[in-house]
Amino acid sequence: MNKYELQVMQWLKDNRARAARFLQILVRENSTRENESSTQAIVIEKCRQLGLLLDIWEIDEAELRSHPAYCCDRKGFEGNPNLVAVLKGSGDGRSIILNGHIDVVPVGDSSSWNHDPFSGLIECGKLYGRGATDMKGGNVALLMAIESIIANGIKLKGDVIFQSVIEEESGGAGTLAAVLRGYKADGAIIPEPTNMKIFPKQQGSMWFRVTVTGKAAHGGTRYEGVSAIEKSLLVINKLQQLEKVRNARITDPLFKKIPIPIPINIGKISSGEWPSSVPDTAIIEGRMGVSPEETIKSAQLEMESCLEELSNQEEWFRKYPLKLEWFGGRWQPGSINSDHPLMNELIKSFEVVKGDGPVIEASPWGTDGGILSTVGNTPVVVFGPGITETAHDANEHIILEDMFAASEIIALTLLKWCEIDK
Amino acid sequence: MNKYELQVMQWLKDNRARAARFLQILVRENSTRENESSTQAIVIEKCRQLGLLLDIWEIDEAELRSHPAYCCDRKGFEGNPNLVAVLKGSGDGRSIILNGHIDVVPVGDSSSWNHDPFSGLIECGKLYGRGATDMKGGNVALLMAIESIIANGIKLKGDVIFQSVIEEESGGAGTLAAVLRGYKADGAIIPEPTNMKIFPKQQGSMWFRVTVTGKAAHGGTRYEGVSAIEKSLLVINKLQQLEKVRNARITDPLFKKIPIPIPINIGKISSGEWPSSVPDTAIIEGRMGVSPEETIKSAQLEMESCLEELSNQEEWFRKYPLKLEWFGGRWQPGSINSDHPLMNELIKSFEVVKGDGPVIEASPWGTDGGILSTVGNTPVVVFGPGITETAHDANEHIILEDMFAASEIIALTLLKWCEIDK
């Protein structure tokens, strides 16, 4: 390590307590959807103190509405701004976007939590609370990495573009707005909770709904009706087959440890209103994984033609067609080569900090990286300190040691990627 | 036909317009659950005018609660009485119960009705409205039959016990209360909507609920969870097999035209709250048919051991047991021999009136006949003028000609069964 790297590493070690305390402050603010402003205000103040160039704006739905990657049912964005804060480089260096979302998912059943979901409680090296892992811990790692460079008076050649966006959990409108506002870079890191794994590829995903029609009848003469539940079994069965076919095609070694790289998850079924009636409608809702090698559109077409095939096999469906809708969330897949220069820098930095190589895999879920890479043409690596398993769950928490290590790895990567202007 | 029979037949033909008008009055009163009183008042006044011995009482839930055939979630019975009205015989004749329920099922989606659901509209010989077929038309047939005997000054030896009961649609508490009050007889006719078929046997039925446990996970890593929907498919499959096994045992020729004599209807399934989560609970609700040759209890035991068998086959269910509940409605099966004397009289009367023999079958649904026969030890035949297919449906209606014919058939049967005291 050169002296700059040593300075940065030392500074980050000296400021661990401050980093933990900052995460605690962020976690104690509830930033569920449409309530992002108070947390965003804390991040803005932090960036102002760091002397970054601030761009704070409210998303204009009218501008985004017609974009094919826009997927959002939010009524309004007033009062809950997006933030981009830039550490300008001196020029001639590679730029980087450091992207984190500030929104968190709802608490769920609060009785499942051992403590207040917004406690920020620290116990045995873990910090608890909604958002600790997904992904305020990652955001703190980013901000501490930036601060370590500024605090040590280091100048970089390339721009560091920090983004604190809203709406990631509901389809990515915040990052899309930042891309359409013009923010692109030579690379990007998104510290989503990857358990410190490095994900050069991210699975995309989208929600679907299949409506199955039956024919009502009294349960005592059920043979006079056609059960929408029984017909739904054919649909579920067909979707299970489709999942097998689609996954058999995945040969990328990054997926080799993942039992089902791009799952088709049947998340909901609802049919019938009365135990002794034959149900005439069933609604199936689920999530379809999209591989980094395909597009949202091509995956949609594949499911559409799969259900068309079923309709051709089943006379009932020819008369009463299945209805397939794409609704709600949609996350673009993302991908860069495993030997992309940003990957190399990140892996080397990881080895320096951890003394061992990272696990490199494909992510089982989508992130804003999909939009950044497919719409913003910015190569994205997803790597962060949060614990995948506790995201969206009760008693969400992060291991602080991992957050500290992630900030060191990211800081070293910035020094190499953006290059020090000596 | 003897002169009494001729008198009765002629009187019924002369009074068809009055019969239709009386049904119209009854249909125009909404007698859905807990609103039976106004319709019951009209029936009571009719019976008073006929000079019948009236027994009007409110059901005492405390008295019925512990009875094994009691199945009711109604809060109270105040203000909505049961009615038994007796035409006393001179003695030494066979008594008969004429049982009809006054409650009707809810209107459902009123936009599906072409007219006001309580219009009582008469068009092309059909009378429309909720309850026209199920079973106020049957009740009118009973009352006209009784009136035809009284109006012609005919005395019977056996008692005619007319019952206008509440709660049939919700499990039979009204008829159970009448039985426990002491009303039994040598035979009974229940004019439920049979399309003029004669049902010496009635399928019983009951509702069940199976709760299936899974394990939640994110849809992107669905292999880390266990889908309650996928596990439900095993349960549905097993119940379909059970239905096959149970129906293969039915050899009674009365069932030979019925594709599935005792169906197991899966009426509802509900699982999952989020498209991209693996659902951890599924709830299946349905209706199990009970053959006249078995008891409610033995059918329950059969389903219980079937699901136990599934639990033994599936490791998951050994760890996370299926939960089976018997809830909501329960209707006892009923049965008399096809050559029972009441059957003979009814068939002969049918042939006289219709000039042809009746269709004799087993009913695909339960009636209060189950309670009357199993608890009240009263042999029951179900036979009535309503249209099975329109019961519980929008635009429910009855063919008035059938109602007139049914009252003639029942009147002739009363003369034979209870015997004329000349």
pLDDT-derived band at A61 (thresholds 50, 70, 90) equals very high
pLDDT digits (tens, 9 = 90+) for A26-37: 999 999 999 999
Average pLDDT on B200-223 reads 93
Q: Do B276 and A270 touch (CB under 8 A)?
A: no
In the sheet that B126-128 helps form, which strands lie side by side, from edge to edge?
A: B122-123, B126-128, B397-399
Provide the 3-class DSSP secondary structure of residue B340.
coil
Q: Do A273 and B268 touch (CB under 8 A)?
A: yes
Average pLDDT on B5-32 reads 98
The size of chain B, in residues, is: 422
A265: which chain B residues are within 8 Å (Cβ-Cβ)?
A: 219-220, 222, 227, 275-278
Residue B187 has pLDDT above 90, yes or no: yes
Beta bridge partners of B330: B206
CA A166 – CA A188 distance, rounded (Å): 17
Q: Do A203 and B220 touch (CB under 8 A)?
A: yes
Which helix (H) or strand (E) segment holds residue B331: the answer is strand B323-331
Rounded to a whole number of angstroms, the distance between the first and last alpha carbons of chain B is 15
pLDDT-derived band at A109 (thresholds 50, 70, 90) equals confident
Residue A185 has pLDDT above 90, yes or no: yes
| Range name among A92-106, A322-336, B291-305 with the lowest pLDDT average | A322-336
User: Does residue A289 belong to the interface with chain B, where contact is any CB pair within 8 Å?
Assistant: yes
Q: How far is A266 from chain B (nearest CA, A)?
A: 7
Class of domain A3-202+333-418: alpha beta
Alpha carbon distances (Å) from B9 to A238, A387, B99, B412: 62, 85, 22, 8
Structure tokens at B22: 């009386």
User: For residue B184, how many other CB atoms are within 10 A of its CB?
Assistant: 15
B208: which chain A residues are within 8 Å (Cβ-Cβ)?
A: 275
Of 1.10.10.10, 3.90.1150.10, 3.10.580.10, 3.30.70.360, the CATH number of A205-328 is: 3.30.70.360
pLDDT-derived band at A110 (thresholds 50, 70, 90) equals confident
Q: How far is B3 from chain A (nearest CA, A)?
A: 43
Average pLDDT on A140-157 reads 98
CA A192 – CA A185 distance, rounded (Å): 19
Residue A328 has pLDDT above 90, yes or no: no
Q: Mean pLDDT over all residues of chain B?
A: 95
Nearest CA in chain B to A208: B275
B273: which chain A residues are within 8 Å (Cβ-Cβ)?
A: 267-268
User: Does residue A275 belong to the interface with chain B, where contact is any CB pair within 8 Å?
Assistant: yes
| Residues above pLDDT 90, as percent of chain A | 88
pLDDT digits (tens, 9 = 90+) for B391-405: 988 899 999 999 999
Of 3.30.110.40, 3.40.50.2300, 3.30.70.360, 3.40.50.450, the CATH number of B204-331 is: 3.30.70.360
| Range name among A45-49, B87-91, B365-369 with the lowest pLDDT average | B365-369
pLDDT digits (tens, 9 = 90+) for B143-182: 999 999 999 999 999 999 999 999 998 889 999 999 999 9
Residue B406 has what pLDDT? 98
Q: Do A278 and B267 touch (CB under 8 A)?
A: yes
A201: which chain B residues are within 8 Å (Cβ-Cβ)?
A: none
Q: Mean pLDDT over all residues of chain A?
A: 95
| Range name among B71-75, B100-104, B271-275 with the lowest pLDDT average | B71-75
CA B400 – CA B379 distance, rounded (Å): 28
Which helix (H) or strand (E) segment holds residue B163: the answer is strand B160-165
Residue A75 has what pLDDT? 84
**A190: exposed, middle or buried (Cβ count in 10 Å: 0-12, 13-18, 19+):** buried
Average pLDDT on B55-70 reads 93
Q: Do A236 and B229 touch (CB under 8 A)?
A: yes
Average pLDDT on A323-339 reads 91
Kind of pairing between the strands at B380-383 and B188-190: parallel
Listed residue (B46, B398, B350, B378) closest to B179, CA to CA: B378
Average pLDDT on A285-291 reads 96
Residue A365 has pLDDT above 90, yes or no: no
User: Does residue A220 belong to the interface with chain B, where contact is any CB pair within 8 Å?
Assistant: yes
**Cα–chain-centroid distance for residue B343?**
19
Query: Any idea of the CA torsion for B377, B133, B23, B371, to the nearest 10 degrees?
Result: 10
CA B59 – CA B76 distance, rounded (Å): 8
Structure tokens at A275: 């135990």
Q: How far is A70 from chain B (nearest CA, A)?
A: 19
B278: which chain A residues are within 8 Å (Cβ-Cβ)?
A: 265, 267
Catalytic residue among B103, B134, B147, B408: B103
Interface of A with B in 329-358 (CB under 8 A): 329
Facing residue for B270 by CB, picked from A270, A366, A391: A270
Nearest CA in chain A to B243: A222
Q: Do A279 and B289 touch (CB under 8 A)?
A: no
pLDDT digits (tens, 9 = 90+) for B358-385: 999 998 888 999 999 999 999 999 999 9
Listed residue (A376, A202, A238) closest to A317, CA to CA: A238
| Residues above pLDDT 70, as percent of chain B | 100
| Range name among A56-60, A232-236, B334-338 with the lowest pLDDT average | B334-338
What value of ipTM does the predicted structure carry?
0.85
Residue B300 has pLDDT above 90, yes or no: yes
pTM of the prediction? 0.85
Residue A206 has what pLDDT? 93
Write the CB contacts of A72 (distance below 8 Å, at least 6 apart in sequence): A61, A64, A167, A170, A171, A173
Average pLDDT on B221-232 reads 95
Question: Which of the pair, A75 or A151, is modelled with greater confidence?
Answer: A151
Cα–Cα–Cα angle for A156, A158, A164, rounded to 5 degrees: 100
Choose the mutation target among A112, A205, A209, A276 for the interface with B, i.e. most B CBs under 10 Å.
A276
pLDDT digits (tens, 9 = 90+) for A207-266: 999 999 999 888 989 999 999 999 999 999 999 999 999 999 999 999 998 999 999 999
Residue B110 has what pLDDT? 84
Residue A361 has what pLDDT? 93
Residue B328 has what pLDDT? 83
pLDDT-derived band at B287 (thresholds 50, 70, 90) equals very high
| Range name among A2-6, A26-30, A116-120, A169-173 with the lowest pLDDT average | A169-173
Phi-psi region of B419 (alpha: psi -120 to 50; beta: other; left: phi over 0): left
Average pLDDT on B190-204 reads 96
Cis peptide preceding B135, ω within 30 of 0: yes
Alpha carbon distances (Å) from A32 to A27, A36, A59, B81: 11, 6, 17, 55
Q: Hey, where are the domains in chain B?
A: 3-202+333-418, 204-331
Listed residue (A311, A284, A281) closest to A216, CA to CA: A281
User: For residue A328, how many other CB atoms are within 10 A of its CB?
Assistant: 19
Phi-psi region of B108 (alpha: psi -120 to 50; beta: other; left: phi over 0): left
Q: Do B220 and A273 touch (CB under 8 A)?
A: no
Q: How far is B299 from chain A (nearest CA, A)?
A: 15
Facing residue for B287 by CB, picked from A227, A276, A363: A276
Residue B114 has what pLDDT? 96
| Residues above pLDDT 90, as percent of chain B | 88
pLDDT-derived band at A72 (thresholds 50, 70, 90) equals confident
Residue B309 has what pLDDT? 97
Residue B107 has what pLDDT? 87
* Strand ranges, E, within B214-338: 217-218, 264-271, 277-278, 281-290, 323-331, 334-335
Question: Which of the pair, B51 or A273, is modelled with greater confidence?
Answer: B51
User: Does residue A218 belong to the interface with chain B, where contact is any CB pair within 8 Å?
Assistant: yes
Residue B330 has what pLDDT? 86
Q: How far is B103 from chain A (nearest CA, A)?
A: 18
Could you give phi then psi for residue A99, rounded to 5 degrees? -110, 130
Q: How far is B219 from chain A (nearest CA, A)?
A: 5
Interface of A with B in 158-187 (CB under 8 A): none
Do A418 and A159 touch, CB atoms closer than 8 A? yes
Question: Which of the pair, B296 or B73, is modelled with greater confidence?
Answer: B296
